[in-house]
């Protein structure tokens, strides 16, 4: 008898595929921290999400590989320092693994330095009424699930550094819309699904325009604006503007 995971059901829901009637659904008791690669949905064969044809795709990929390799090498001492801070500041793994939705709706495992306590997902249900974000996004400025060390990491975006591995692997790009979680995508309207027509990225227009201080509608608008006008020079400009934006910590929490 087939047993489908919660991720499978969410994936089919997102793409409008009717899930089969099941006597048993396998619950993921280790929410958002898969130890192995999750089931990769063949959404492109069923999806209404068109994948954008990028004229400078080879150049963009070369930039991604080059910058991610340089970043991983130069930031190796910083990786070690952050790993020690995370390890000794609270119990739990150093690296947080979470299933995210990528280009065309494919699932991939996204890496971050853990910035929350290990019971964060369980406590989220208790904090739903405190959500300060609009749309399907969940955000609280003074989120009690974030560790003291995690708050600093988030302010400086250091928790995102392991995603350079995702860029090197080809799951993500340096520049592109931030990758959402399946539960958020399940609530997307058609227009919002347009964010999934390109690879997700470490930074984009949203990152340099206020980040979490912007509401979801504006976030989507900026992502779609990037997708419509994306080019090598635009990517380069966003990368250069990301550095001061991160150092300013504006909208980061």
Tell me the pLDDT tens digit for each residue of 102-134: 999 999 999 999 999 998 888 887 888 888 777
pLDDT of residue 61: 98
From residue 164, alpha-carbon distances to 59, 145, 153 in Å are 17, 25, 16
CB atoms within 10 A of CB 69: 13
Q: Does the reported pTM lie above 0.85?
A: no
Flag whether 117 is in a domain: yes
Residues facing 110 on adjacent strands = 98
pLDDT score of 1 more than 60: no
For residue 192 the two structure tokens come to 């919002």
Q: Taking 90 as the threshold, does the pLDDT of residue 9 lie above it?
A: no
Q: How far apart are CA 55 and CA 3, in angstroms?
A: 41
Give the residue numbers spanning the domain of 93.
32-42+51-248
Domain annotation covers residue 1: no
The residues near 221 (Cβ < 8 Å, ≥ 6 apart) are none
Q: Is 102:195 a contact under the CB 8 Å cutoff?
A: no
The whole-chain average pLDDT of the chain stands at: 82
Q: Check residue 253 and give its pLDDT.
A: 56
Mean pLDDT for 45-55 is 74
Which pLDDT belongs to residue 246? Answer: 87
Q: At what angle do helices 57-74 and 232-248 cross, to 10 degrees?
A: 30
How open is the CA angle 102-103-105, to the nearest 5 degrees?
70
Flag whether 96 is in a domain: yes
pLDDT at 31 over 50: no
What torsion do the CA atoms of 164, 166, 172, 174 make, to the nearest 10 degrees? 10
**Residue 24 tokens, joined:** 């048993």
User: Per-residue pLDDT tens for 57-82?
Assistant: 999 999 999 999 999 999 999 999 99
Q: Is residue 85 part of a domain?
A: yes
Which token pair is 41?
A: 């949905």
| pLDDT at 48 (0 to 100) | 65
What is the number of domains present in the chain? 1
Does residue 8 register a pLDDT over 80?
A: no
Distance in angstroms (rounded) separating the CA atoms of residues 172 and 183: 19
Is 121 among the domain residues? yes
Predicted confidence band of residue 139 (pLDDT cuts 50, 70, 90): confident
Res. 251 pLDDT band, cuts 50 70 90: low
Residue 227 above 60 pLDDT? yes
Q: 17 lies in a domain?
A: no
């Amino acid at each position: 008898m087939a047993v489908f995971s919660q991720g499978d059901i969410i994936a089919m829901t997102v793409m409008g595929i009717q899930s089969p009637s099941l006597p048993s659904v396998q619950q993921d008791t280790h929410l958002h921290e898969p130890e192995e690669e999750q089931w990769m949905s063949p959404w492109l064969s069923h999806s209404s999400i068109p994948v954008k044809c990028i004229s400078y795709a080879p150049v963009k990929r070369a930039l991604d590989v080059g910058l991610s390799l340089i970043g991983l090498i130069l930031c190796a001492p910083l990786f070690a320092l952050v790993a020690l801070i995370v390890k000794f500041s609270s119990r739990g793994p150093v690296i947080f693994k979470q299933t995210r939705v990528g280009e065309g709706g494919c699932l991939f495992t996204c890496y971050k330095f853990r910035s929350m306590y290990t019971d964060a997902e369980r406590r989220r249900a208790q904090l739903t009424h405190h959500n300060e974000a609009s749309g399907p996004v969940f955000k609280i400025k003074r989120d009690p699930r974030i560790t003291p060390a995690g708050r600093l990491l988030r302010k400086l975006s250091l928790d995102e550094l392991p995603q350079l591995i995702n860029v090197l692997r080809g799951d993500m790009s340096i520049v592109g819309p931030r990758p959402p979680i399946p539960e958020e995508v399940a609530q997307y309207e058609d227009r919002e699904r347009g964010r999934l027509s390109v690879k997700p990225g470490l930074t984009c227009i949203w990152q340099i325009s206020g980040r979490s201080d912007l509401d979801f509608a504006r976030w989507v608008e900026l992502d779609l604006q990037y997708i419509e006008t994306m080019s090598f020079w635009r990517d380069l400009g966003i990368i250069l503007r990301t550095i001061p934006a991160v150092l300013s910590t504006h909208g980061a929490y």
